[in-house]
Structure 1
Amino acid sequence: MNLFKRAWWRLTGHLGKTLMLIGLFFVICTLVLSGFLIRSAAARAATDAKQRVGAVATMQLDLDALISSGKAQESNGSMPGTIGAAGDLHRSLVDKICGSSVVAQCNYTTDAGAFPTKSTKLYQPVPPPAGQDTLGTDLFRADGIRDLNAVSEFRGGDSKLVSGRGITPRSKSDEIVVEERMAKANGLKVGDSVRLKVGQLPPPGQKKNEKEYVFKVVGIYKSSLADTGQYVPALMDPANHLYVSPDGASTLLGKGDEADDGVVKQATFTLKDPEDLGRLKQDAEAAGADLDIFPLSVNDKQYKALVGPISKTADFATVTVWLVAVAGTVILALIVASSLRERRKELGILLSLGERKPRLLGQHLVEVVVCAVFAIGLAGACSGLLSQSIGDRLLAGEVGSAKDDAANQGRERDPSDPNGGLKQDEPAADPIDSMDIRLGPADIGKVGATGLAIAAIATLIPGSRVLRLNPRDILTKGD
């Protein structure tokens, strides 16, 4: 008799057991397919985040490496040691590295200060207490930037231009953007000039640099930080925060007037591909950079913040797929083994009638595969909504944990700061808190292959006992 007919009669004649197998396979296939869909959604989100954030390599001075190299200026007894020219990262070098074929975008910043002059005064609504020494704080804070729009305060809306324009990569070294309160205190408007002095105190025994440098006001901005009504050191007052080009900041650092002498504190390079860091290091060395003193490191903090929760969700889904597959195989194998014991008389009769053992095993396999096919179809119809619901709940928990961890995380030390200062906070990146579940033919194919593999393994392993049976033993001894 045809084994397919026998399998059909068995399935239709024992509907209870058939529906039980279909239900078990439905649960297994639904969970497996949900795991596949969550992993696929996480992979798409990670790719989108990588394109949005990019891989950013940072170059800046490593003070410990400079001291270890012996290139720092040492103390001679009367004068303390200083960083020296060996610790200067020149803009001309950075521009060469920016020309690398693996760099999609580059930026650099310089921190500087500027002493006021007779014609350009500090904004100080509350004077300092009598007798307080303010020599080291009575100056402007001047940030040398390549693009004002890239500054976190302006990108986040805490500061905004109210007149003129900002600093751009094409800005000249004598262009400056000032805060609205400082501009009013000095009667400045766009197009006026300000005169500033180098914001560096001289070493002991040397005279202060009294040379005045002229800057043209190209923009006026407004900070959201209001006056406190109390005395604040001028350097820390947001109204005394100036923005200049990197070359302008180098001038105020006393590093030189020429563009090639411009010094930057930190350079960032957005790579076209995260795997290109090695090539970037080769190009940097070819340009003349000492990567021991100015190391290149990939800053993937924002990328990790974006994809961390969804990656953990995908990892959990992967573990679930394996656990369900293994557990489902074991459970089905036990069910098939139990079914074989129950049907021992049927097997014995068929064998005594001359049926071959492989065809008996094939009948059982057909029965289980038919149940699996029905379950895979039902899983494909239901898994989309179920995966979305499960994925969103798991992701919401991971996002909450990630935000708590970020709130408790401290700032890192700035390796270029001789005073052991901390790095400036980077713009916060909100984790991806939703996933785009898409059910496609490839996903159905994967869960179908998984389901059929489970059916085959769960049937063939216990069913192999059939190949060792003979009709006399089955009909006379039972098991």
Structure 2
Amino acid sequence: MNFVKRAGISLGARKPKTAALLAIFTVICTLLFGGLLLQAAAAHQEADVRRIIGVDITVKQKGLTSALADRLGASDIVNRYTPQLPVRAAGHGLTPLTSNVSKPDDETRDKDPGPLAVNGVRDSGMLLPFSYGSTKIMAGRGITPDDTGRAVVLIEQRLADENHLEVGQTVQVRSADGERTAALTIVGVFQDPTQNPTGWMPPHELPGNALYVPMDTAQALGARGATVSEAVYRIGSPDQAEQLHAAAERLLGAGSFDFRVNDKAYKDQVHPIQQVGTFSGLIVWVIALASALILGLIVTLQIRERRAELGVLLAMGEKKWKLIGQHAVEVAAAALPAVGLAALAGQLAGQPAGDALLGRQDDKSTLAALAQDAEMTPLTVRVEPTTVVNVAGIGLGISLVSTVLPGIGILRLHPRSILLDNE
């Protein structure tokens, strides 16, 4: 009789033990699904966090121009970037804020080039106060790369309240020399947490008199030859910082610029996720090895119980490798339906487990604060076809190892000694 057909008859004749084997394999496969699903979710979450947070590099150099900052930002490893071009301007029909304290008599009375601090940016979300959540957009949106060539402005809430301005309204801003005037549409209102100083401060140093506009608008309002105060670049990981530094040296000259790496947020968010991924991978290996050991012991006990059956088959001329194959088929037959049951259990329990380990509410709020303008993908843990294939492969591998190794003992059996021992 074919050993595969004999394995099916044996499974049917030994229903309680078959059910027990199926239950054991279902538990094993469920644990494997849990480990692999958690590992996949951790990898997805890590990639999302890398994209959203990344590592911020601040580059400063005396005489840094917008063109040089753009050339460095064109590097393949740079995900987002923004230069910052500060200029002074005055409002036309716009009342700037002033200190509540009178100007000291000993303060120099030089001509004020403009009470408004206008900052030309490419992407306001890349500025560290916006990026890390201390400065927040209260209405509308920030300045984006798509605003290049548009007459738009991001205004501080205190200045907006003072002038009764809202998103969508237009303000007039005049250059410091009074020769150029720009009509800017308010696209957003932000709140700077810096309190108004208790002493006298020049108007342009008051936090409420800060405006953010696209780079070309700032260049049009500023004096000829105005330079960038700093440029912020976002890369994927700390490992790429050396590459960007080398690119900056080639472009700006070695030792001529300040290069600061800010990777605290990256480490705070990515490292815990990496630890979860490593832990889940370790779980898969431990489960596979422990399962092979447990099933190997079970098969060894079954072989001892079925010595008489094996002796009869050997006496009838059955080949020993077919006896090992029969045990392998019996175990594999229990493994395959267990994969289906475990996949259903993984689909039901995977999302709650993933939320518990990777989607804690405090982490979500931190990510939201770190990337206000970024689109965050919600954490999803679901059984994919590749996961089912991987679990099935591991399960069959466990069944093969757990039957072949104990089956070595079958090769040492002799029909005569088995039958005499069982008389």
- Is TM more than 0.5 here? yes
Is the aligned partner of 1:263 residue 2:227? yes
Q: For the residues of structure 1 that align with 2:390 and 2:146, how far apart are their CA atoms?
A: 53
Aligned CA distance change for structure 1 residues 225 and 462 (closer, same or farther; 3 Å):
closer
Is the aligned partner of 1:238 residue 2:203? no
- TM-score, normalised to structure 1, is 0.64
C-alpha offsets along residues 261-313 of structure 1, whole Å, 9 cap, x if unaligned? x322321345699998777556544434436734375x666666666655444
Q: For the residues of structure 2 that align with 1:267 and 1:225, how far apart are their CA atoms?
A: 20
Is the aligned partner of 1:157 residue 2:121? no
Match of 1:191 among 155, 162, 172: 172
Aligned CA distance change for structure 1 residues 427 and 279 (closer, same or farther; 3 Å):
closer
Q: For the residues of structure 2 that align with 1:224 and 1:55, how far apart are their CA atoms?
A: 24
Match of 1:144 in 2: 119
Match of 1:384 among 347, 365, 375: 347
Q: For the residues of structure 1 that align with 2:25 and 2:119, how far apart are their CA atoms?
A: 64
**TM-fit CA distance, 1:449:** 0.7
Match of 1:326 among 263, 278, 289: 289
C-alpha offsets along residues 361-406 of structure 1, whole Å, 9 cap, x if unaligned? 1221111111112212322333212222322222245x54x57999
Q: For the residues of structure 2 that align with 1:122 and 1:432, how far apart are their CA atoms?
A: 37
Q: For the residues of structure 1 that align with 2:313 and 2:407, how far apart are their CA atoms?
A: 15
Asked whether the equivalents of residues 38 and 391 of structure 1 are also in contact (C-alpha less than 8 Å), the reply is: yes
Match of 2:70 in 1: 95
Q: For the residues of structure 1 that align with 2:53 and 2:196, how far apart are their CA atoms?
A: 43
Match of 1:126 in 2: 100
| Structure 2, gaps ≥5 residues long | 165-169
Question: Any residues of structure 2 matched to 1:314-463 within 5 Å, and which?
Answer: 314-397=277-360, 400=362, 402=363, 434-463=378-407
Aligned CA distance change for structure 1 residues 405 and 180 (closer, same or farther; 3 Å):
closer
Q: For the residues of structure 2 that align with 1:227 and 1:377, how far apart are their CA atoms?
A: 58
Is the aligned partner of 1:108 residue 2:83? yes
Farther-moved stretch of structure 1 (364-373 vs 277-286): 277-286
- Specify the code of the residue in structure 2 equivalent to 1:41: A
- Specify the code of the residue in structure 2 equivalent to 1:96: R
Match of 1:9 in 2: 9
Farther-moved stretch of structure 1 (94-103 vs 311-320): 94-103
Asked whether the equivalents of residues 126 and 229 of structure 1 are also in contact (C-alpha less than 8 Å), the reply is: no
Match of 1:60 in 2: 59
Asked whether the equivalents of residues 37 and 439 of structure 1 are also in contact (C-alpha less than 8 Å), the reply is: yes
Question: Any residues of structure 2 matched to 1:176-187 within 5 Å, and which?
Answer: 179-180=159-160
Aligned CA distance change for structure 1 residues 455 and 288 (closer, same or farther; 3 Å):
same
Match of 2:415 in 1: 471
**TM-fit CA distance, 1:326:** 1.5
**TM-fit CA distance, 1:13:** 1.5
- Specify the code of the residue in structure 2 equivalent to 1:12: G
Question: Any residues of structure 2 matched to 1:235-314 within 5 Å, and which?
Answer: 237-243=206-212, 257-259=223-225, 262-269=226-233, 283-290=247-254, 293-295=257-259, 310-314=273-277
Aligned CA distance change for structure 1 residues 323 and 176 (closer, same or farther; 3 Å):
closer
Asked whether the equivalents of residues 48 and 377 of structure 2 are also in contact (C-alpha less than 8 Å), the reply is: no
Q: For the residues of structure 1 that align with 2:105 and 2:310, how far apart are their CA atoms?
A: 103
Q: For the residues of structure 2 that align with 1:333 and 1:176, how far apart are their CA atoms?
A: 69
Asked whether the equivalents of residues 29 and 342 of structure 2 are also in contact (C-alpha less than 8 Å), the reply is: yes
Percent pairwise identity: 28
Aligned CA distance change for structure 1 residues 464 and 230 (closer, same or farther; 3 Å):
closer
Count of aligned residue pairs for this structure pair:
397
C-alpha offsets along residues 215-239 of structure 1, whole Å, 9 cap, x if unaligned? 6364486665799899465366433
Farther-moved stretch of structure 1 (320-329 vs 36-45): 36-45
Match of 1:216 among 181, 195, 199: 181
Q: For the residues of structure 2 that align with 1:227 and 1:50, how far apart are their CA atoms?
A: 30
Q: For the residues of structure 2 that align with 1:429 and 1:247, how far apart are their CA atoms?
A: 22
C-alpha offsets along residues 63-115 of structure 1, whole Å, 9 cap, x if unaligned? xxxxxxxxxxxxxxxxxxxxxxx74433342233345566565411256789x
Q: For the residues of structure 1 that align with 2:233 and 2:336, how far apart are their CA atoms?
A: 52
Aligned CA distance change for structure 1 residues 352 and 316 (closer, same or farther; 3 Å):
same
SS of residue matched to 2:337: helix
**TM-fit CA distance, 1:12:** 1.3
Asked whether the equivalents of residues 34 and 384 of structure 1 are also in contact (C-alpha less than 8 Å), the reply is: no
Q: For the residues of structure 1 that align with 2:353 and 2:154, how far apart are their CA atoms?
A: 53
SS of residue matched to 1:263: coil
SS of residue matched to 1:60: strand
Q: For the residues of structure 2 that align with 1:45 and 1:307, how far apart are their CA atoms?
A: 9
Aligned CA distance change for structure 1 residues 87 and 22 (closer, same or farther; 3 Å):
same
Asked whether the equivalents of residues 364 and 459 of structure 1 are also in contact (C-alpha less than 8 Å), the reply is: yes
- Specify the code of the residue in structure 2 equivalent to 1:191: Q
Match of 2:36 in 1: 36
Asked whether the equivalents of residues 42 and 358 of structure 2 are also in contact (C-alpha less than 8 Å), the reply is: no
Q: For the residues of structure 2 that align with 1:226 and 1:266, how far apart are their CA atoms?
A: 21
Asked whether the equivalents of residues 343 and 388 of structure 2 are also in contact (C-alpha less than 8 Å), the reply is: yes
- Specify the code of the residue in structure 1 equivalent to 2:353: I
SS of residue matched to 2:172: coil
SS of residue matched to 2:406: helix
Q: For the residues of structure 2 that align with 1:433 and 1:311, how far apart are their CA atoms?
A: 18
